[in-house]
Structure 1
Amino acid sequence: MFEAHMRTPDGRIGEAYWFYVRRGEILVVVGDEGPRIPSSVESMLENPVTHVMGHLDDKWVFGVDVPLDLEGAPEGHEWTPLRQLYGKVPELHWTLAGRAEQLVNWGRTHQFCGRCAAATEPSPGERARLCPACGLLSYPRLSPATITIVTRGGAEEEVLLAHGRQFPGRFYSALAGFVEPGESLEECVVREIKEEVGIDVVDVQYFGSQPWPFPHSLMIGFRARYAGGDLVLQEEEIVDAGWYRADDLPPCPRGGMSIAGWLIEAWLKEQAAKA
């Protein structure tokens, strides 16, 4: 079990989990049984910027900032892009790698105050950077976004999926968008769906959430029911959208690494149970 904290080691660390982050890549040990997270300090860096992340199974967990211009890897190691690491290490390790990626990038981009440009320093007792000149506190950046599947019908239920312009090739998924200031999550769901495909929804129900480190999102999943309207696409965002039965889905995620796949997979299981 992972325990998140910021306690400072007061003695010998021993074996630990070291998540070295470079350019969206994680350093892994190469082995016959697949890659794994390094468990000891590598000698490639002197006085690296290190973020205490917590404990996993009684071992310390650290995120380490590796300079962007550092080339090569220690013998027996290699750099692996975070997305490509999924499925190659335990899922919790992949999630922690994403956490390390976000903490390292936050540290890189908040070395100076955004208000007065003075150098910042760690804020005692919390995950924040403090400006000693003007007192501004800067916390790790987190961008909440909702992601929703909309359904309609009864026994022959259909799900609404869309092909967003950000997806290469023909690939469909749930509808998603960032929460705006002063907006509730449920309001975001209703607004985003109306903006992107022109329909109204009701019965907005929470499904689950997922930290998504590409680059610093918190995805909050929902289910909703179709209430009315015709599909009118926001063309700068959506290439195509349509209603699909469980036996006629377009290319889309099912399970896997993202909450979009989890939403679709859960709906498919519901439809299978009806059969």
Structure 2
Amino acid sequence: MFEPDHKEPENVDDAHYFVFHGDNLVTDNRASDPCLLPRNEIRFLSPAPVRQQFLGYWHGKPCYARELDHNTPLGVDHYQASNLYSILGRVSDEMFALAGRAQQMLAWERDNRFCGRCGENMGSHESDRAKVCKPCRSIIYPRISPCIIVLITRGPDMLLARNANFPIEMFSTLAGFIEAGETVEECLVREVKEEVGVDVTNIRYFNSQSWPFPNQLMLGFFAEYDGGEIVCEDEEIAEAHWFSPDKLPTIPPVHSISGQLIRHHIDNQAATGRS
């Protein structure tokens, strides 16, 4: 269980660390929690981190995010460094979300060393997890970019698309960033129309997922087809088609909200005998 906090404890002897070698997460495949390293283990690594953030408590023990200089070799054979995708499905959803939080906190500190308004050095807020500029009083909180992700259905069939920029030939649900001044529902309708040219109705919220690539909050929905022919937006969508539950292409894993949307629909169809 994770309890968020931003006030560091005095005693860190039993602290655990998410260690990043630049942007890559350091893991120990010998451990039951391969990405959360105890303090006595990381003594072999660089003693002077580039930056560090206290996250809170994991099962009552202090938990930190620590970044090492990517130009400095790890120097320990049983450690390896790779991006967060490498632990997706290998650890619990809660552990994956916490590792994502760790990476986002380090990126937030790195990207906000100076005030975007006046250029002065940013300091730490006294009571909040925030950066504050004393000269101009600008306050910067950790950034979150809200996105919609939607499974469009037409009876049992699902509209799935292949991203033009994705290296794997995988078909997934549609997604897009919410723009300033836009409601979630307006964004969903706009993104679907822009990406595949169809209209939707009966929008229903499903679930959300923190997706730290780099800082998205994915808001998952179902929507029903309401007309139009599929016309793909060339720069983003390579192809899009209607698929039945029994004739699916390669789809995202269940650990992603896209995979959860697809499987939830399939399970519902099977339960009602409509697959």
When the two structures are superposed, what TM-score results if normalisation uses the length of structure 2?
0.92
Distance of aligned partners of 1:66 and 1:213 in 2 relative to their CA distance in 1, 3 Å threshold: same
SS at match of 1:176: strand
Partner of 2:48: 46
SS at match of 2:85: helix
CA distance in 2, matches of 1:192, 1:34: 38
Q: Is the 8 A contact 1:122 1:130 kept in 2?
A: yes
Partner of 2:272: 274
Deviant stretches of 4+, over 4 Å: none
Q: For residue 207 of structure 1, what is the amino acid of its counterpart?
A: F
CA distance in 1, matches of 2:212, 2:34: 20
Identity across the alignment (%): 36
Please provide the CA RMSD for this pair.
1.8
CA distance in 2, matches of 1:185, 1:120: 32
Alignment size in residue pairs: 270
Q: For residue 168 of structure 1, what is the amino acid of its counterpart?
A: P
SS at match of 2:158: strand
CA distance in 1, matches of 2:249, 2:77: 44
Answer with 206-215 or 91-100: which moved more: 91-100
Q: Is the 8 A contact 2:49 2:69 kept in 1?
A: no
Q: CA deviation at 1:237?
A: 1.2
Alignment partner of 1:113 is 2:115: yes
Partner of 1:62: 64
Q: CA deviation at 1:75?
A: 5.5
Q: Is the 8 A contact 1:149 1:160 kept in 2?
A: yes
Partner of 2:192: 193
**Structure 1, unpaired ranges of 5+:** none
CA distance in 2, matches of 1:194, 1:58: 47
Alignment partner of 1:262 is 2:260: yes
CA distance in 2, matches of 1:57, 1:17: 11
SS at match of 1:18: strand
Q: For residue 30 of structure 2, what is the amino acid of its counterpart?
A: G
CA displacement 1:163-214 (0-9 Å, x = unmatched): 1112224211000000000011111111100111111111111111001111
**Structure 2, unpaired ranges of 5+:** none
Distance of aligned partners of 1:122 and 1:258 in 2 relative to their CA distance in 1, 3 Å threshold: same
SS at match of 1:151: strand
Q: Is the 8 A contact 2:144 2:216 kept in 1?
A: yes
Distance of aligned partners of 1:159 and 1:129 in 2 relative to their CA distance in 1, 3 Å threshold: same
When the two structures are superposed, what TM-score results if normalisation uses the length of structure 1?
0.92
Q: Is the 8 A contact 1:152 1:158 kept in 2?
A: yes
CA distance in 2, matches of 1:47, 1:171: 38
CA distance in 2, matches of 1:32, 1:189: 42
CA distance in 2, matches of 1:259, 1:273: 21
